[in-house]
Amino acid sequence: MYLRELTQEGIVDSAVIFHDTLNPALWKNNALKTQIRLKLLEIAQNFIQFIDIPQINLKDITISGSNAAYTYTNNSDIDLHLIVDIPIDRQQLLKPLFDAKKNQYNFTRNLKIKGIDVEVYVQGSSDPHHSAGIYSVLDNKWLTKPKKERVNINDDDVENKVNNYKFKIRSAIKSNDKRTLIAVKDELSKIRKTGLEKGGEFSVENLTFKVLRAKGLIDQIRNKIRELEDQELSLKSI
C-alpha cells in the first residue's frame, strides 16, 4: 500500500514507495558503489575538519534511512552519520555543540551525490537509532540489512496529522515570531523521534514528517527562523 501525500488540491503522488531494488544510483549488487562510498568518506572527513574537535573518538561512518532501504523517493536524502563515543561527563557539553555544528554545516552547504542531497549528523555510539537499513561506509558492510517487505499504512491517520502540522507551520511563519517557529520545529523533531522509537520508519509521526518535508514545509520553517535570526543580528542604516 502506498502512503498518500496531500496538497491543498487533493491527493497526489506517493511519499513512500516500496521498490524491489535499492536505489540504483547508489547501490550495485546490494553494496555501496565504490565511487559513492569514497565520496561519502570524503564528505565525512570534511565535516570532521569543520567540527574541529580534537580526539573526536570516531567509531564508524554509516548511512541509513530510505536510501539505505527499499523505500526511497525523489525527495529522500542520504543520511550520513558519524558515530562517535561521547564520554558521559562531556555529553552536556558536546551534544549541543555537535548539533550546532551539524546544523551550521548542513545549512551552509549544498552537497549532492548523483543529484541526491547529503545530510550529515553526529550520533553518539550509545544512542538508539531506528532505521530499516544501516550500512557502514567505513567498513563497507551492512550493519542492518533492509528487508523487502510492504507494510500497511493508515493513510487517514497520516492525513490528519499532516493537515494539523501544515496549519501549525503556516501559522507560525505568518506570526513572524522566532520563539513560535522554534517551538513548532522542536515539536516536529520530537514527534518524529518518538515515532521512530515506538513505531519505526513507518510510524504515523515519521511519515507525517516525511510528507511535510517533501512538500517543502520543513525547509520553510527553518529558512524563516534563519531569516529572523539574521534580522536580529543586523543593524539598519540610519
pLDDT digits (tens, 9 = 90+) for 50-60: 998 878 889 99
Query: In 3D, which of 73, 119, 115, 9 has the Cα closest to residue 211?
Result: 73
| CA–CA distances in Å: residue 94 to residues 59, 85, 91, 99, 126 | 16, 11, 5, 9, 14
pLDDT digits (tens, 9 = 90+) for 3-51: 443 333 333 344 567 889 999 999 999 999 999 999 999 999 999 999 9
- The answer on pLDDT for 225 being more than 80 is yes
Q: Write out the CATH class of domain 19-144.
A: alpha beta
Q: How many CB atoms lie within 10 A of CB 200?
A: 13
Q: Tell me what percent of the residues of the chain surpass a pLDDT of 90.
A: 47
Within the chain, how many helices (H) and strands (E) appear? Answer: 6, 10
CA angle in degrees (0–180, nearest 5) for 16-109-27: 45
pTM of the model: 0.73
Domain segments of the chain as ranges? 19-144, 152-233
C-alpha cell read off for 72: 526511497
